[in-house]
Amino acid sequence: MSVLLRVHDLAINYGHIEAVKGITFHLNTGEITALVGANGAGKSTTLLGLSGLLRPVRGHVLFEDEDITHLSPHQIVRRGVVQVAEGRAILTTLTVSENLALGAYTRRDRAGIADSLEEVFHLFPRLRDRGNQLAGNLSGGEQQMLAIGRALMARPRLMLLDEPSMGLAPLLVQEIFRTLVDINRSGLTVLLVEQNVRQALKIARHGYVMETGHVVLADSGANLLHDPRVAEAYLGG
Amino acid sequence: MEWLDNFWSTYNTLVYSIGVHALLALSIWLTLACGLLSMANAAFMGIGAYVSALLSLNAGWPFAAVLVAAGVAPALVALIIGIPTLRLSGVYLAMATLAFGEVVRITVLNLEITGGPEGLNGIPQSTQGWHIVAILAFVVYGLTRMQRSRVGRAFESIREDDVAASLMGIDVARYKLFAFVLGAAMAGVAGGLNAHFTFFISPREYGFENAVDILTMAVLGGTGSLVGPMLGAAILTLLPELLRFLNEFRGIFNGIVLVLVVLFLPKGIWEPRRIKALFARGGGK
């Protein structure tokens, strides 16, 4: 199994707070990996560090053996690492189609972009119906679909997801997670950051549990799901 | 056609001013389109005005070359101050650019070559109506093309949400700098044109109030399209003249008009979506 992304001793400060205190983990090519933990554990900060929005104070991020630790966000996107931001970060005054077109900003291959658009519409048929509507008028679930669709338009090789279940009804969460499994089957490597620990570990091959800035557990998703320590802390006993 | 000649000789500077103000309003529209609240455009206009006036007076450059210099000089200054300041956002950028404007004004006020507080006199009146029209047309054409290009889409997403824009692979810092520098060049050319028909320039014309005026033109007209800033420039240039009969109450009335527009038309007078709706309703009758 080849390693796509390797994180070594990564430390990130958020203002004056040391939010991530030297974590080490890796993502295998073609797998879904979950990074789970309670609110404030440092999961989102880790993602912001990987996508270049926060500058790490220590450590390294290697993507396909290239050091991307100190690259700018747009350079990291161009390498194929695309983040679906928490709070969805869609452009509410633009239409659904315009949002998706902007997702392919780094690409110049018109034919390939059209193919990607078809794939996104295939995964999320509702986006096709709403193509000309303002993204701000979409429901929460549809906005999350649009955010994921927009990230796919960049044709990433690694997709970083920050709390895709946030603020969504349980049925919608299941739908989104099913789609993530579909996307992963098509060959995309996924790093999933979640507070919805049970759902995340169900679909993840490997998982890491974070607490107060440290990785405290690392195992396969299935093992973590049945680990008594995880069950007690995150799954309600 | 005697009345036309009379009208023109009385009001030609007013018509020229509308054109120059339209150029200025478009220059700040460009930075606003990229989500930057820059208050430095009056200072950039001043740099353009002084550089061009000095080249005309002391070096005897031809007018075309003078205008190019009027654009290039502030663009270079914008490039230098833009790299550190454009990391700021919102009101902090406004403060930094305001401070820069004061630095420029005070520098001009105290230099010998710029004539200090007395300014520069006897600048050749080289600007002709068609110069202003041609440059304005060129700028509007260029900005329209830009709006529909990749650059325009990048600007739009940066203005909406610059974090989201960077996560889509857009080089946010570079585009902001581009908008800032290009805006400075446009303001500088406007300054050069202005200096060459008003005959006289002084530091007073490029201070804080003028920076606010330029911003007001764009916001009053509406920043949703290119028409808005130009309309705002025309209104704010004409309004003081039309209100001349109010004598000393003129400023007050001017202010009231502004307050009413901001209260009832927060997106400016020219808002494409509303105007479309207005025509649709009219056609339905």
A47–B contact, CB cutoff 8 A: no
Task: Identify how many contiguous H helices and E strands chain A contains and give both numbers.
Answer: 10, 10
Residues of A in contact with B150 (CB under 8 A): 105
Least confidently predicted of A139-143, B7-11, B221-225? B7-11
Encode pLDDT of B87-111 as tens digits: 888 889 999 999 999 999 999 999 9
Which among A77, A89, A90 has CB closest to B169?
A77
Question: Please, what's the b/e burial string for B211-229 (b: 16 or more CB within 10 A of its CB; e: otherwise)?
Answer: bebbbbbbbbbbbbbbbbb
* Separation in Å, CA of B169 to nearest CA in chain A: 4
Encode pLDDT of A46-100 as tens digits: 999 999 999 999 999 999 999 999 999 999 999 999 999 766 678 888 899 999 9
Instruction: Please answer yes or no on whether B153 and A102 come within 8 Å at the CB atom.
Output: yes
- pTM of the predicted protein model: 0.89
Domains and CATH numbers, chain B: 2-284 (1.10.3470)
Q: How many CB atoms lie within 10 A of CB B280?
A: 9
B223–A contact, CB cutoff 8 A: no
Domains and CATH numbers, chain A: 24-44+86-234 (3.40.50.300)
Which among B164, B166, B173 has CB closest to A91?
B164
* Separation in Å, CA of B236 to nearest CA in chain A: 29
Q: What percent of chain B has pLDDT over 90?
A: 63
B148–A contact, CB cutoff 8 A: no
A210: β partners: A37, A215
3-state secondary structure A86-141: CCCCCCCCCEHHHHHHHHCCCCCCHHHHHHHHHHHHHHCHHHHHCCCCEHHHCCHH
| DSSP per-residue letters across chain B | -HHHHHHHHHHHHHHHHHHHHHHHHHHHHHHHHTT-----HHHHHHHHHHHHHHIIIII---HHHHHHHHHHHHHHHHHHHHHHHTTS-HHHHHHHHHHHHHHHHHHHHH-TTTTGGG-B--------HHHHHHHHHHHHHHHHHHHTSHHHHHHHHHHH-HHHHHHTT--HHHHHHHHHHHHHHHHHHHHHHHHHHHS-B-GGGGSHHHHHHHHHHHHHH-TTSSHHHHHHHHHHHHHHHHTGGGGGGHHHHHHHHHHHHHHH-TT-S--HHHHHHHHHHHHH-
Residue B35 has pLDDT above 80, yes or no: yes
Residues of B in contact with A93 (CB under 8 A): 160
B163–A contact, CB cutoff 8 A: yes
Q: How far is Cα B155 from Cα B170, in angstroms, rounded to an integer?
A: 9
Edge-to-edge, what's the strand order for the sheet holding A17-28?
A17-28, A3-14, A58-63, A66-67
B164–A contact, CB cutoff 8 A: yes
Residue B25's pLDDT is 97
Calculate mean pLDDT across residues B177-197.
97
Residue in B158, B168, B171 to test binding to A, most A beta-carbons within 10 Å: B168
Q: How far is Cα A208 from Cα A215, in angstroms, rounded to an integer?
A: 6
**What does the block give as tokens for A90?**
């869609």
Local structure of A34: helix, strand or coil = strand
Residues of B in contact with A89 (CB under 8 A): 161, 163-164, 167
